[in-house]
Structure 1
Amino acid sequence: MRTERTQVAIVGAGPAGLLLSHLLHRRGIASVVLESRSREYVEQRVRAGVLEQGTVDTLVEAGVGERLRREGLPHHGIELRYGGRGRRIAFEKLVPGRRITVYGQQEVVKDLIAARLADGGPIRFEVSGVAVHDLDSAAPSVTYTGPDGEPVRLECDVIAGCDGFHGVTRPSIPDGVLTVYEREYPFAWLGVLARVRPSAEELIYAQTERGFALHSMRSPEVSRFYLQVAPDENLADWPDERIWEELRARLETVPGFTLATGPVIEKGVTPMRSFVVEPMQYGRLYLAGDAAHIVPPTGAKGLNLAVADVRLLTEALVSWFSTGSAALLEGYSAACLKRVWRAQHFSWWMTTLLHTFDSDDAYGRRLQLAHLDYVTTSEAAATTLAENYVGLPYESDPHD
């Protein structure tokens, strides 16, 4: 078995792992990123597309925001559509100077991969058999098999688990260490990517008796749509014609709005889940992003939480490697979870506000409509939605 050595072994080449590697490199700390998929797969998989203000600022400050600034679509509000009318939540009025930017997660990944490879950063794609060892020791390691079939032991000081909900790092923590908080929802999202110009300039969140729908976009020529469906929905039962028919039924509910249609590029069904593990660390293993927490996509927080985790982990590792102080590393989980639980609540709130839980529950339906009326007519309530949606500012010293 060949032996390699680095300071930080990063499992997973999603946004969390790649950004962590890039930020550490800029601070003089070496890392190796391990990824089971190919570069082509990682760069093409469609995921989130709404970036908080703080996420955009982080990418720009890290020197990987040039294309984001050029091609990203800044948005200063969203529309809540229900009861035959649409009400706009105006970010520019409610949270001046803060906004969201629509820019696909796969584009963030492409930018980060290009930056790491340009810097000579080692990203090992198409590895298999990844396993982590000796997490509670001062000399952890990761073993894997390269695409050429050669077994490798990667010795390191720290392991970062950035390998998502189904990754290998979190299950490697001994039983009884983690507390799991979880909630599954009685519906899923049918996501559709279509080559058609967006029918609106901003995102539309539609609440109807037929179920929830979301009109979003990825570029001036590509639109993204979501439909609330059953959790066990069979994708084969949703030909393109049925998708467009249902989107029209849920979105064409206000006078003058016509949904533009076009070729469907991709579609898939995503279950809705809330999930958090505490703590987000064990020994020399530190979890970040989806490896530690999942939120329903309604609040657009998944990618943004991963960036917030990585910011904190970077500062903690820089402090430890430069001064020997483990104070920030020891407080990493608690610092992350403050933001994670705020985002969990916001995502749960948006989900319960906009989705149909029981079509026969007339009382629940009336409660939703009353709450939507309050959110769209009360400046205080609208401000709460706006400031959480664009992302709360990072704390100046979040480890306190």
Structure 2
Amino acid sequence: MSLLLEPLVAAGKEGVDMVCSDGFIRRVFPILAAYVADCPEQCLVACVKENRCPCCRVGPKQRGDNLVHTLWRDEKDTLAELAKHQNRKPSPLFEDDGIRPVYKPFWADLPHTNIFSCFTPDILHQTILDARFKAMNAFAGLRHFKKGISTVSQWTGAEHKEMQRVFLGVLAGAVSAKVLTVVKSLIDFIYYAQLQSHSTKTLDALQAALDTFHTNKQVILDLEIREHFNIPKFHSLQHYVDVILHRRRLHIDFAKKAYRASNRRDYTEQMALWLQRQEAIALRVSYIQWRKNQDLSADADSSDESDNEDEPQSAVARVVVRLPSTNLPAVSYKIAKFPAIENVAVGHIQTAYGAINIIPALTNFLELYFKPSPGDCPEMELDGANEK
């Protein structure tokens, strides 16, 4: 990997000139943003033991807890501990963090890169494994394990997914409702994690499934099915939401979608061309939106100037609108230049729309927000309590 990524070191530090989609040459600084690998390879790249988390410094006895915040590993600290260990001056932190002696990791010289935040989830190795399988009824779309699962010599990702579809049905009636809740929450987590695209709603559901598992997992310990959940695979689930938010989009937008847009032959060139066109469209849309905003601002300024030129300066009265303070988020509104329905009587509005208090409400609004202040209007003066 050091030889493979060697050109990236100089490019990330000094930059390289590249032709962008708009035809201009710009200096760009490419960096390593994501590293897709299975769990054992992640631990090897992170220079940690396979019973530790390659992303954070979770304690050996806290891997089964539902942690809200974790301390991420630091590249400088890890390299410093490796250097001390190589010089036979190891500190207690070397063993506490579960570091393994890989003295020259390939990412040591990569600029602007935090390898510990580049790892993506490994669903196959981190979340998935008979008579009841044989007893399951056959159903369209579901695989029937008529010989059970003990005869399967090698499990693939597709077979794991097929087993997940029937796993809850296999356990139904054989275990208590609490155990089913734990199993269901884990299966829900796996299926949510495999969605091709995510929204705030699906990420909330993903986190809720994990929280449900940790809330009910004690029943597994009470039944002595397991002694503890203090294993790296369960802890790795803590990082899924963060990784999906910050890294997953890169793999989907720049790799998966680009590949699907090709004809699967000589796809590398087609993917690069597709990404170039997508970038060109995005730049064009951004430019058009910017020009629209510029035109709207220019029209508003010219309209204000023309209004001021039509009347003498002495006859122009300023109206100051004072809005009450609020903690609500700012919201933009679009107001039509012309009413959709003209010449509507107030009585019709009160009857058709139930706005029975429209007249007093409008009166209060105008008095509150559009009442000129002293000095705002040249023709208005205050003399004690009398108003002229």
Mark yes or no: TM-score above 0.5.
Answer: no
Given the two structures, how large is their TM-score scaled by the length of structure 1? 0.19
**Larger strand share, 1 or 2:** 1
More helix by share: 2
Structure with the bigger RCO (C-alpha within 8 Å, sep 6+) is 1
